[in-house]
């Protein structure tokens, strides 16, 4: 009605808008495989670690996603350190990359503690989904493993006082126990945390605690404090169940427990659960320790290094001082056997990697935010604010403000 004209494309016509994409890839270590899934591309390599990927001029119609995948994992554990210098300040990121597959990885016995949220908010399909996922996990237990099942709602109870061996009879007991669970009552997750982490740990097995919950609670700070007090060398892996999961809680628990997170939605199949448990039973490297050599490191995050699993590399970010060349040594255990790797690092590398200071700053802000969840500290908050301002990052204390200057009003 206002006179707006609408143009229609005739058959076999298209709009004249094309796209051009160019990707400069600096993987930091040898690239084993590189694929553009939906488009034709040209690839120019610069050594083993760098590549320039450009969209073919015959495939520039913007009608589908551009997806580029590259893999650095090979048959063995690999490690590399990237550095960036800004005057006297040095920043680095260290990557420890697991093998590409589980084929050559031996497994060590695991003590699984399954913790299931049975509160009222889980009633219905979330509860059924969580029970099916736990059933699949129990069915995958192997000789040498042990397990415990803990349910919590307004209180917590367990299959037994201590973990039991994963014999066929005990697994059947566990399956029967899970089948009878139902959702009702409040969400006293703190009781589930205490029940899962307070009983003595078997020194011959790695303890892995997996929580299955929607996280509908309001005392996250209390839960983080309880985990911090009790975690020891236990690993925490969290499953968020439902469509509106409390990701702040779920991801924070996994981060404190040097674990990982997965989410199960209403329409998701459970193949991801099977793969998750298959991977965590075969860690590529545990009890990781790092000797930085002559690299004078400071403020390295995360403070506690997690385990290395297939598909889940270990990444560390920090600052350093020093010149010349040094050797960084990575040691740990694989299936109970000691493992040692050496990485040569050129501290004076002049290649520019401007992302590394930002990655370090984000890691610093994250650990400050984690510490503030358990106790208020104005000095610590001011430190986080200063870092966010210095590196122009959004945080709990900073935001970006967009100002629309397209129209200036008479009274500004």
Q: Express each pLDDT in 172-219 by its tens digit.
A: 999 998 888 887 777 788 888 888 888 777 777 888 888 888 877 777
Contact assessment for residue 181 and residue 151, using Cβ atoms and an 8 Å cutoff: yes
Complete edge-to-edge strand list for the sheet that includes strand 286-291: 286-291, 325-334, 337-346
Half-sphere exposure of 404 (CA within 13 A, CB side): 3
Output phi, psi for 189, to 5 deg.
Answer: -60, -30
Do the beta carbons of residue 349 and residue 85 sit within 8 Å?
yes
Q: What pLDDT is attached to residue 22?
A: 95
Location of structure tokens 């299931």: 116
Whether cis (ω within 30° of 0) applies to the bond prior to 121 is no
pLDDT tens digits, 279-320: 777 788 888 999 999 899 999 998 888 888 888 889 999 999
Mean pLDDT taken over the chain? 86
For residue 35, what are the β-bridge partners?
Answer: 69
Backbone angles phi, psi at 111, to 5 degrees: -105, 105
Torsion angle of C-alpha atoms 201, 146, 197, 181, degrees rounded to 10: -160
What pLDDT score was predicted for residue 1? 58
Regarding predicted confidence, which is higher, 89 or 22?
Answer: 22
Distance CA 79, CA 96 (A): 4
Q: How sure is the predictor about 25, in pLDDT bands with cuts at 50, 70 and 90?
A: very high
Place of tokens 């990927």: 53
Distance of CA 171 to the CA centre of its chain: 30
Confidence tier at 2 by pLDDT (50, 70, 90)? low
pLDDT tens for residues 130-173? 888 888 889 888 888 899 998 888 778 888 888 889 999 999 99
- ∠171-174-175 over CA atoms, to 5°? 90
Average pLDDT over residues 84-103: 87
Q: Are 78 and 29 in contact (CB under 8 A)?
A: yes
DSSP state of 37: S
Pair 260, 254: CB distance under 8 Å: yes
Among 86, 28, 83, 96, which Cα is nearest to 297's? 83
Question: Which pTM value belongs to this model?
Answer: 0.76
Which has the minimum average pLDDT: 106-110, 151-155, 235-239?
A: 106-110
Calculate the CA 140 to chain-centre distance.
23
CA atoms of 65 and 38, how far apart (whole Å): 7
**Structure tokens belonging to residue 317:** 């970010």
Beta-bridge partner residues of 290: 330
Between these two residues, 350 and 408, which has the higher pLDDT value? 350
H-type alpha helices, 80-160:
125-139
Q: Which of 24, 14, 20, 15 is nearest to 352 (CA)?
A: 24
Q: By C-alpha distance, which of 91, 23, 103 is closest to 317? A: 91
DSSP 301-354: ESSS---BBTTB-EEEEEEEE--SEEEEEEEEEETTEEEEEEEEEETT-----T
Angle between helices 378-390 and 355-372 (to 10 degrees): 160
Predicted confidence (pLDDT) at residue 237 exceeds the cutoff of 90: no
Residue tagged 């975690």 (tokens): 231
Between 5 and 32, residue with greater pLDDT: 32
Question: Between helices 355-372 and 247-256, what is the axis angle to 10°?
Answer: 100
Interval 372-407: pLDDT, tens = 877 788 999 999 999 999 999 999 899 988 887 777
Higher pLDDT, 3 or 236: 236
Q: 3-class secondary structure for 245-294? A: CCHHHHHHHHHHCCCCEEEECCCCCCHHHHHHHHHHCCCCEEEEEEECCC
Place of tokens 């966010």: 388
Q: How many CB atoms lie within 10 A of CB 46?
A: 11
The residue with tokens 């329409």 is: 267
């Amino acid at each position: 009605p206002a006179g707006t004209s609408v143009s229609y494309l005739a058959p076999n016509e298209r709009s004249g808008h094309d796209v051009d994409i160019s990707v400069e890839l600096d993987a930091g270590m040898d690239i084993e495989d590189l694929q553009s899934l939906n488009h034709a591309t040209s690839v120019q390599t610069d050594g083993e670690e760098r590549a320039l990927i450009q969209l073919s001029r015959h495939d520039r119609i913007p009608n589908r996603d551009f997806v580029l995948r590259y893999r650095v994992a090979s048959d063995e554990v690999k490690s590399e350190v990237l550095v960036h210098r800004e005057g006297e300040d040095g920043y680095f990121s260290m990557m420890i990359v697991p093998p590409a597959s589980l084929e050559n990885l031996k497994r060590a016995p695991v003590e699984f503690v399954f913790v299931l949220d049975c509160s009222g908010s889980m009633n219905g399909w979330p509860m059924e989904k969580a029970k099916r996922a736990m059933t699949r996990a129990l069915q995958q237990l192997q000789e040498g493993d042990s397990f415990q099942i803990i349910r919590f709602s307004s209180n917590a109870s367990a299959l037994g006082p201590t973990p039991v061996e994963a014999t066929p009879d005990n697994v059947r007991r566990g399956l029967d126990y899970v089948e009878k669970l139902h959702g009702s009552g409040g969400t006293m997750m703190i009781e589930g945390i205490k029940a899962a982490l307070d009983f003595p740990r078997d020194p011959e097995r790695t303890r892995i605690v997996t929580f299955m919950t929607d996280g509908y609670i309001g005392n996250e700070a209390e839960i983080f404090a309880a985990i911090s007090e009790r975690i020891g060398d236990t690993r925490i892996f969290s499953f968020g169940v439902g469509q509106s999961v409390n990701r702040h809680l779920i991801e924070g628990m996994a981060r404190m427990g040097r674990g990982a997170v997965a989410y199960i939605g209403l329409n998701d199949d459970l193949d991801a659960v099977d793969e998750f448990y298959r991977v965590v039973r075969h860690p590529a490297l545990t009890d990781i320790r790092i000797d930085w050599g002559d690299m004078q490191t400071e403020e390295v995050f995360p403070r506690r290094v997690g385990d290395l699993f297939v598909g889940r590399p270990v990444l560390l970010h920090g600052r350093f001082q020093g010149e010349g060349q040094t050797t960084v040594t990575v040691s740990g255990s694989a299936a109970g056997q000691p493992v040692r790797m050496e990485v040569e690092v050129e501290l004076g590398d002049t290649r520019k990697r401007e992302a590394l200071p930002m990655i370090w700053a984000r890691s610093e802000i994250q650990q400050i935010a984690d510490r503030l969840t358990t106790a208020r500290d104005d000095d610590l908050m001011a430190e986080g604010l200063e870092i966010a301002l210095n590196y122009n990052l959004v945080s709990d204390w900073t935001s970006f403000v967009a100002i629309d200057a397209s129209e200036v009003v008479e009274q500004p």
